[in-house]
Amino acid sequence: MKYPVMTINEAKIRQNSRTVAGLCRKHGIDVWGVTKGLSGDPRLASLYREAGFKGAADSRLRNLEKLREAGVPMLRQLMRIAMPSELEELIHTADVSLQSELSTIKALDKLCAAKGKNHDVLLMVDMGDLREGFWQTELPRAAEELRGLVGGVRLKGVATNYACASGVLPSRENMENLVRSRDRFAEMLGVELPVVSVGGTCCLKSIEDGFVPGDVNQLRLCEGVLLGTDTAGGREIPYLEHDAVTITAEIVECRHKPSVPVGETGFQAFGEKPVFINRGMRKRALLAIGRQDVNMDRITPIRRDVHIVTASSDHLIVDVTEADSTRSPDEGYKPGDTISFRPLYPAMLACATSEYVEVRFE
């Protein structure tokens, strides 16, 4: 078997997807499964589709192109605001996009009209997280300029993100403000805007607690389905599976060494100065995976008696002294053995993006 590898348990992802789809369906909400967590893997999109998700969403057109080329029969949504330089690719690859720049929307509209195509757009509204989106005071001017669209772009609704840049969580108040923004846009434009879209696994708690306005009818999410966690809300979601994704790396060296560096220390390769506790001689395993592949601060060894020490670009160093104490000398960790970890979202994203980590569905 090739290592390092990130293993995806299809049955658990399928179960999580169905559970989330069922919860949202009860509240009249369509789910769009975000695929960027696994770098636009068509196998993930197919699991979303089986569960009844409305479409697949990603922040990279290259990932959406993977879905198109694989023939996954789902609507495709670009979540990141389109670069003006990629509009040709956008209308070829995605069915709908989230937009917040008037000049980009106008250019997209003209391009679509010239090519005899239509493209659906959701207008991003900033609900306080201070990333992308129109600010409330901008709505009248935005509506005034959008009245001049020539018909290539079809405005379908409004959207917002939560807890992506500043950690702002969804609330009854800011969701109701989003609906009011949709109503203002629709009135000023003189059109119907049927979609009110929210993004983030943290929105599941709002649905559970019953304070999502009835007009909110689209949810974009990824983390909850893949990992069963809600980083923004600081919780493991109790009704979802939490171990559907594991990262496994192979040991390339194993020996006893001091637990504190010997000699004067400066900063290591990543500009950090690690702090070490003197625990005497310890057995350390050197794994063939590093910071180039994974965020070491966002993985947890599955075995509680294995402890992460530090990492460089290409190696992860773990303390296996306690783990070896429960084994006979012949059964202790050695080169060729493997150690597995449970990732949080940033670590999963990094591994999916690294060309040096195989992603395997089982």
Query: How many other β-carbons are positioned within 10 Å of the β-carbon of residue 230?
Result: 22
Query: How many other β-carbons are positioned within 10 Å of the β-carbon of residue 94?
Result: 25
Query: Are the CB atoms for 251 and 285 separated by under 8 Å?
Result: yes
Confidence of residue 298 (pLDDT cuts 50, 70, 90): very high
Which tens digits make up the pLDDT trace of 155-212?
999 999 999 999 999 999 999 999 999 999 999 999 999 999 999 999 999 999 999 9
pLDDT of residue 269: 74
Residue positions counted in the chain? 362
Distances (CA, A) of 168 to 24, 103, 125, 126, 150: 21, 27, 14, 11, 36
Residue type at 196 in one-letter notation: V
Q: Do 60 and 209 share a domain, yes or no?
A: yes
Mean pLDDT computed over 268-272 = 78
Mean pLDDT computed over 331-345 = 96
Query: Could you tell me which of 283, 272, 274, 287 has the C-alpha nearest to residue 341?
Result: 287
* pLDDT beyond 80 at 326: no
Q: Do 156 and 300 share a domain, yes or no?
A: no
How confident is the prediction for the chain on average, in pLDDT?
96
Q: Give the whole-angstrom CA distance, residue 277 versus residue 108.
A: 57
Query: Are the CB atoms for 93 and 68 separated by under 8 Å?
Result: yes
Residue type at 115 in one-letter notation: K
SS3 content of the chain, % helix, strand, coil (to 5): 35, 25, 40
pLDDT of residue 268: 80
Q: Do 140 and 160 share a domain, yes or no?
A: yes
Is 3 among the domain residues? no
Query: How many other β-carbons are positioned within 10 Å of the β-carbon of residue 306?
Result: 20
Domain boundary among 236, 263, 292: 236
Is 290 among the domain residues? yes
The number of domains in the chain is 2
Q: Do 42 and 150 share a domain, yes or no?
A: yes
Q: Do 157 and 304 share a domain, yes or no?
A: no
pLDDT: which is higher, 276 or 222: 222
Mean pLDDT computed over 104-123 = 97
Q: Do 70 and 181 share a domain, yes or no?
A: yes
pLDDT of residue 12: 98
Q: What CATH number is attached to the domain comprising 294?
A: 2.40.37
Q: Which domain holds residue 33?
A: 9-236
Tokens standing for residue 261: 């560096």
Distances (CA, A) of 48 to 10, 34, 160, 279, 297: 11, 9, 22, 47, 29
Query: Could you tell me what percent of the chain has a pLDDT over 90?
Result: 92
* pLDDT beyond 90 at 66: yes
* pLDDT beyond 80 at 327: no
Query: How many other β-carbons are positioned within 10 Å of the β-carbon of residue 128?
Result: 16
Q: Do 232 and 118 share a domain, yes or no?
A: yes
Is 132 among the domain residues? yes
Query: Are the CB atoms for 7 and 360 separated by under 8 Å?
Result: yes
Q: The tokens 């999502």 sit on which residue?
A: 212
Is 2 among the domain residues? no
Q: Helices in 122-244 by DSSP H: which ranges?
A: 139-146, 172-189, 203-209, 223-227
Mean pLDDT computed over 348-357 = 97
Is 41 among the domain residues? yes
Sequence-distant (≥ 6) Cβ neighbours of residue 352 within 8 angstroms: 6, 37, 38, 39, 41, 359
| DSSP helix/strand/coil, 32 | strand
Query: Could you tell me what percent of the chain has a pLDDT over 70?
Result: 99
Which tens digits make up the pLDDT trace of 78-100?
999 999 999 999 999 999 999 99
* pLDDT beyond 80 at 241: yes
Q: Do 77 and 212 share a domain, yes or no?
A: yes
Q: Do 76 and 129 share a domain, yes or no?
A: yes
Q: Do 122 and 225 share a domain, yes or no?
A: yes
Which tens digits make up the pLDDT trace of 25-55?
999 999 999 999 999 999 999 999 999 999 9
Q: Do 182 and 108 share a domain, yes or no?
A: yes
Active site residues: 36
Domain boundary among 195, 215, 236: 236
Tokens standing for residue 18: 């169905």
Q: Do 107 and 178 share a domain, yes or no?
A: yes
Q: What CATH number is attached to the domain comprising 154?
A: 3.20.20.10
pLDDT of residue 342: 98
* pLDDT beyond 90 at 328: no
Let me know the angle formed at the C-alpha of 296 by 294 and 298, rounded to the nearest 5 degrees. 95
Domain boundary among 178, 210, 236: 236
Question: CA dihedral in degrees (131, 67, 246, 6; nearest 10)?
Answer: -110
Sequence-distant (≥ 6) Cβ neighbours of residue 275 within 8 angstroms: none
